């Protein structure tokens, strides 16, 4: 049930957000993956708002949960209205359907095999995460924090590691991060333990989110080539599988620490940021930057997503400029060659 909720609700919310941001300009390279990932960021943003509201106003966790659910219901209703209104405006959807139909190519059998093997690899990884529950929690206290929130019905009133009241408190820059509160809400909504949600459900969702993010990159790099997209995703699956040798590497983050903010940033937000930038979907990039600030300790809100955005922008400007200069030189070279010939 929790998996359905965490997959369907973000898809719906994300779809609505994409309609708002791109409306009539939605093109065939905005896919269900974009909806799911955008919706996921919206859910985190909503959790952050509820979390900050509860902390600032000194409200209980129950009040925070009610605020989150109220916001979710409002957004859900707005999303449904936007989607229904969009469907009723037949012109927009007809145009989109025509674009998608013309862009869609028949996947050949050998390419289907690629996607099948990729799917099998991803499924095995998912099953391993869910069944083995191999969790690396050194340096992390998310499960304890969630349990403390559920037990005391308050956010950060007790030290999660001991269960005793704080004497000196905790850093504000950690206090404002919303993931433990979001996980506690899921525990309460679906009557699950902190260990089940934090160490099983969330890592499974992070793995799925990660593959969706990498799929958007594949779409950006090989928009017309289904075969290369499949090969790319297969290599990504292999790299994530074997790249688990050290905490801080993609594969490790996804397989053993998917509940941590840094892992969600590394495996989901950053690949998605690259995917958006490569496809020039700039309106969604600030969402990634803001989401990172909600789940990871950053330098006053400036994190790796912002660094990547600025870096890719500069790289794009420089490479375009160099490319234009090269073309100009080639054109001048041809013209000079033509003049010499005519002389």
Partner 1 sequence: MTELIRNAWLGWQDYTEHGKMAALLLLALLLYWFGNKRSGSKEMMSRRHTLVSYTTVMTVCCICPLTAAALMAYQTKFYDYQWIWGAVPVTIVIALAATQLWTELADKYTGGDGAGWKRAGITVLFACVIYLCGSMQSAVWDEDEAAQNRQKAERVLEIITENGQNKDICLWAPQGIMEYARALDGSIVLPYGRNMWDGALSAYSYDTYGEEEKMLYVWMCHAEAAGEGEAEYQTETGETKIVTAAECMEMINQFAVTHIILPGNLQQEVLTEAEAHWGIQAEDIEGYYLLCIE
Which residues in the 284-323 window bind partner 1 by CB under 8 A?
A: 297-299, 302-304, 307-308, 311-312, 314-316, 318-320, 323
Near partner 1 by CB under 8 A: residue from 55, 143, 155, 205: 143
Longest dimension (CA), the chain: 92
- Give the chain's end-to-end CA distance (angstroms, integer): 80
> Which residues sit opposite 158 in a β-bridge?
165
CA torsion 302→305→307→310, rounded to 10°?
-110
Q: Does 181 bind partner 1 (CB under 8 A)?
A: no
d(CA 33, CA 27): 14
200 is written with which tokens?
């099983």
Annotate each residue in 247-276 with x if it binds partner 1 (CB under 8 A) or - if it does not, as one string. Answer: xxxxxx---x-----x--xx---xx--x--
Q: Which stretch binds partner 1 (CB under 8 A): 6-14, 65-73, 85-93, 134-142?
A: 134-142
Near partner 1 by CB under 8 A: residue from 157, 241, 283, 290: 241
Which of 29, 21, 5 lies closest to 220, judged by CA? 29
Q: Give the residue with the Cβ less far from partner 1, 4 or 242.
A: 242
Contacts of 67 (CB under 8 A, 6+ apart): 49, 50, 53, 54, 59
Q: What is the full DSSP assignment across 214-263?
A: HHHHHHHH-SS-HHHHHHHHHHHHHHHHH--SSBTBHHHHHHH-TTSHHH
In angstroms, give the least distance from the CB of 314 to partner 1: 8
Left if phi > 0, otherwise alpha if psi is -120 to 50, otherwise beta: which for 140?
beta
d(CA 1, CA 146): 20
Near partner 1 by CB under 8 A: residue from 3, 5, 116, 235: 235
Near partner 1 by CB under 8 A: residue from 141, 189, 192, 290: 141
Q: Does 231 bind partner 1 (CB under 8 A)?
A: yes
In angstroms, give the least distance from the CB of 194 to partner 1: 7
Q: Give the residue with the Cβ less far from partner 1, 82 or 207.
A: 207
Near partner 1 by CB under 8 A: residue from 34, 65, 111, 144: 144
Contact status, residue 23 vs residue 48, Cβ threshold 8 Å: no
Q: Does 217 bind partner 1 (CB under 8 A)?
A: yes
In angstroms, give the least distance from the CB of 172 to partner 1: 11
Q: Give the residue with the Cβ less far from partner 1, 15 or 142.
A: 142
Report 42-81 residues binding partner 1 (CB under 8 A). Answer: none
Q: Which stretch binds partner 1 (CB under 8 A): 64-72, 88-96, 118-126, 130-138?
A: 130-138
144 is written with which tokens?
């304890």
d(CA 265, CA 295): 8
Q: Does 108 bind partner 1 (CB under 8 A)?
A: no
Q: Which stretch binds partner 1 (CB under 8 A): 14-22, 81-89, 101-109, 143-151?
A: 143-151
Report 145-174 residues binding partner 1 (CB under 8 A). Answer: 146-148, 150-152, 159-164, 166-171, 174
Q: Does 223 bind partner 1 (CB under 8 A)?
A: yes
In angstroms, give the least distance from the CB of 109 to partner 1: 13
Which of 31, 14, 16, 9 lies closest to 96, judged by CA? 31
In angstroms, give the least distance from the CB of 17 to partner 1: 24
């Amino acid at each position: 049930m929790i998996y359905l909720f965490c997959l369907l609700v973000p898809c719906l919310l994300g779809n609505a957000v994409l309609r708002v941001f791109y409306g009539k300009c939605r093109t065939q390279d905005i896919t269900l993956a974009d909806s799911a990932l955008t919706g996921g960021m919206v859910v985190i943003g909503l959790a952050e708002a509820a979390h900050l509201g509860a902390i600032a106003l000194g409200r209980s966790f129950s009040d925070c949960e009610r605020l989150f659910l109220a916001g979710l219901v409002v957004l859900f209703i707005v999303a449904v209205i936007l989607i229904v209104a969009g469907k009723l405006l037949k012109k927009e959807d007809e145009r989109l359907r025509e674009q998608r139909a013309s862009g869609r190519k028949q996947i050949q059998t050998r390419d289907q095999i690629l996607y099948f093997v990729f799917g099998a690899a991803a499924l095995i990884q998912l099953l391993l995460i869910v069944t083995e529950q191999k969790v690396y929690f050194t340096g992390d206290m998310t499960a304890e924090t969630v349990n403390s929130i559920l037990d005391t019905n308050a956010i950060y009133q007790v030290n999660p590691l001991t269960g005793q009241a704080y004497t000196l408190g905790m850093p504000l820059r950690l206090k404002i991060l919303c993931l433990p509160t979001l996980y506690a809400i899921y525990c309460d909504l679906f009557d699950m333990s902190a260990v089940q949600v934090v160490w099983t459900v969330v890592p499974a969702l992070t793995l799925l989110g990660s593959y969706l993010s990498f799929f958007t990159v594949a779409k950006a790099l090989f928009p017309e080539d289904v075969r290369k997209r499949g090969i790319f995703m297969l290599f990504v699956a292999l790299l994530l599988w074997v790249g688990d040798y050290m905490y801080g590497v993609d594969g490790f983050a996804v397989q053993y620490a998917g509940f941590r903010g840094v892992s969600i940033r590394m495996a989901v937000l950053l690949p998605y940021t690259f995917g958006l930038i490569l496809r020039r979907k700039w309106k969604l990039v600030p969402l990634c930057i803001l989401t990172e600030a909600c789940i990871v300790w950053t330098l006053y809100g400036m994190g790796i997503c912002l660094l990547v955005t600025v870096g890719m922008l500069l790289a794009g400007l420089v490479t375009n400029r160099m490319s234009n200069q090269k073309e100009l030189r080639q054109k001048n070279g041809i013209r000079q060659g033509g003049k010499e010939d005519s002389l």
